[in-house]
Amino acid sequence: MASSIVFSGLASGIDSEAIVNALTQAQKTPMTRLQAQKTEFSTQSRKLSDIKTKLTTLQTAAKALDTKSEALGNKVSSSEEKFLKATGTGGASMGSFKVEVTSVATAERTYSEPLSSDSEAGVAGSGTLTIQVGEGTAYDIEIDGDDTLASIAKKINASGAQVSAGIIKEGGNYRLQVTGRQTGAANTIEFTESGGLTLGLQGAEAKQEAADAKVLVDGFEISSSTNSVTGAVPGVTLNVIDKGTSVIQVDRDSDSLKTKMTAFVTAYNDVMKTLNTEFSSVAGVTKGRDSLIGDGTLHSLQSSLRSALSSVTNNGESALTTFGSIGLTAQRDGTLSFDDAKYTKAVNEDFEGIATALAGRSDFAGLMNKIVDAVEPYSKTDGMLRTKIDNLTARNRRIDTQVSSMQLRLDKYEEMLRRQYALLEQTIAGLNSQGNSLNSIISSM
């Protein structure tokens, strides 16, 4: 609150401004403590948010290896990408596969009869055009005598039918082009013209028929309504481009697995180092009130992570059952080190075993599944860390309310003091004036 200008002590000789400031400052002590507490809560909230973010990163890194298809990465290549391209989806069968593209998936494209104008009203007559794609809904489009070829195209595009319409110019004539939005043999287009409509779409031979993509692998034909073909080569998606033959080569991608594991180690260590920083104490240095050193939730989190890291998974005949067995070793401070030589040996000897250890099977959880489960209660949207952050935010809001109320009372208190001292100055000034008058009278006698 802005204070009015006060000329302190002119009559009394008392520095009332200093007294008011001192009394007011004394009343600010509780408010100062609350503001300091708010700063502490804000710092704790920021630290918890940072840990939550790092946990989310750790969980994402673990989830990148918690399924067999993700852990069993593979490198896929196509010898003739002008015919088809290939991408691995994980868990693919290794080897070479000769793939022949015999058909490319297409959408039907049909043209009207040639018409003399695209802007002349009634050029195609009037009536109802019905369009049905495959077994889908039939859409009726009303064409009247005011419609031009251009407006008919707009009506078709706005009808909801799974087609798109446009106009091409052929010499001095115009044709309406109607193309299906979806590829595949099941998406043929049926046109029905009734009334006096003369577009000529009904009964017209499609210039491009709706067709499925078809590929031959080892004499077996696999078809797809789109040019993305799955199932022809296990664990591989084929992107069909043109008719022709290509050789698809599938190899294990240990480099991809290593990259994912390195990302996991980095994320895990980031969390552990942050927790260690909060929990560790330095001789002669006292942790501030904003420290999380005694936070039970974070200690529980650290314990859960260490337990998950030291867990053992069932892996059949494979000796790869722990993080340590595949090259991830826990240090004294809880962080991980990556043993490249040990990892490479495990990859060369039992690549399948690494994937099973990390991702598990239907009958048991893998190592990464256990990390994900350990993190989940803390990192999820309504998890323990979010609850703590929300509680701190709520406490700060309550402090803001208290401080506002205290500030209002303090402003009133300061205003009261100033009024009282101003009244004192006026009273003393009046008494001084009276005294001066009496002195003058006495002096003149």
Same domain assignment for residues 326 and 354 = yes
Residue 288: pLDDT band with limits 50, 70, 90: low
Give the separation between CA 414 and CA 434, rounded to whole angstroms.
30
Same domain assignment for residues 155 and 50 = no
Give the separation between CA 143 and CA 132, rounded to whole angstroms.
17
Q: Is residue 122 part of a domain?
A: yes
Q: What is the 8-class DSSP label of residue 8?
A: T
Run of H or E residues at 211: none
Mean pLDDT of the chain: 87
Non-local (6+) Cβ contacts of 156 within 8 A are: 129, 131, 141, 163, 164, 165, 178
**Helix 384-444 vs helix 296-309: crossing angle, to nearest 10:** 160
pLDDT, residue 43, reads 87
Same domain assignment for residues 187 and 262 = no
Same domain assignment for residues 379 and 269 = yes
Q: Is residue 309 part of a domain?
A: yes
Q: Say if residue 137's pLDDT is above 50.
A: yes
CA-to-CA separations, 58 to 51, 70, 296, 373, 385, in angstroms, rounded: 10, 16, 21, 12, 15
Same domain assignment for residues 233 and 263 = no
Q: Is residue 114 part of a domain?
A: yes
Residue 18: pLDDT band with limits 50, 70, 90: confident
Whether the CA torsion 192, 195, 199, 203 is positive or negative: it is: positive
pLDDT, residue 405, reads 85
Q: Are 250 and 78 in contact (CB under 8 A)?
A: no
Same domain assignment for residues 155 and 220 = no
Task: Pick the last residue of a domain from 166, 195, 224.
Answer: 195
Q: Is residue 93 part of a domain?
A: yes
State the pTM of this model: 0.65
Tokens representing 327?
Answer: 């090259």
The more confident residue out of 409 and 237 is: 237
Same domain assignment for residues 58 and 137 = no
- Of the candidates 153, 212, 157, 168, the residue with the CA atom closest to the CA atom of residue 188: 212
- Give me the amino acid identity at 214: K
Give the separation between CA 237 and CA 259, rounded to whole angstroms.
22
Q: Is residue 3 part of a domain?
A: no
Q: Which of 74-83, 102-111, 394-403, 420-429 has the highest mean pLDDT?
A: 102-111
Q: Is residue 434 part of a domain?
A: no
Question: What domain count does the chain have?
Answer: 3
Same domain assignment for residues 217 and 307 = no
Query: Half-sphere exposure of residue 375, counting CA atoms within 13 Å on the CB side?
Result: 25
Run of H or E residues at 95: strand 95-103
Phi-psi region of 284 (alpha: psi -120 to 50; beta: other; left: phi over 0): left
pLDDT, residue 385, reads 92
Q: Is residue 362 part of a domain?
A: yes
Same domain assignment for residues 260 and 380 = yes
Give the separation between CA 78 and CA 247, rounded to whole angstroms.
6
Give the separation between CA 168 and CA 111, rounded to whole angstroms.
9
Give the separation between CA 258 and CA 172, rounded to whole angstroms.
64
Residue 31: pLDDT band with limits 50, 70, 90: confident
Residue range 136-151: mean pLDDT, rounded: 96
Q: Are 164 and 133 in contact (CB under 8 A)?
A: no
Give the separation between CA 178 and CA 176, rounded to whole angstroms.
7
Q: Say if residue 79's pLDDT is above 70.
A: yes
Q: Are 67 and 90 in contact (CB under 8 A)?
A: yes
Residue 427: pLDDT band with limits 50, 70, 90: confident
pLDDT, residue 281, reads 55
Tokens representing 169?
Answer: 């110019």
Same domain assignment for residues 54 and 115 = no
pLDDT, residue 416, reads 83
The more confident residue out of 28 and 341 is: 341
Same domain assignment for residues 132 and 229 = no
**pLDDT above 70 coverage of the chain, percent:** 91
Non-local (6+) Cβ contacts of 172 within 8 A are: 116
Q: Is residue 410 part of a domain?
A: yes
Q: Say if residue 354's pLDDT is above 70.
A: yes
Give the separation between CA 148 and CA 85, rounded to whole angstroms.
44
Same domain assignment for residues 227 and 183 = no
CA-to-CA separations, 258 to 261, 313, 328, 393, in angstroms, rounded: 5, 20, 11, 41
Q: Say if residue 96's pLDDT is above 90.
A: yes
pLDDT, residue 282, reads 45
- Of the candidates 65, 55, 61, 63, the residue with the CA atom closest to the CA atom of residue 380: 55
- Domain boundaries, position 135: 109-195
- Of the candidates 110, 161, 153, 155, the residue with the CA atom closest to the CA atom of residue 132: 161
- Of the candidates 280, 276, 278, 327, the residue with the CA atom closest to the CA atom of residue 305: 276
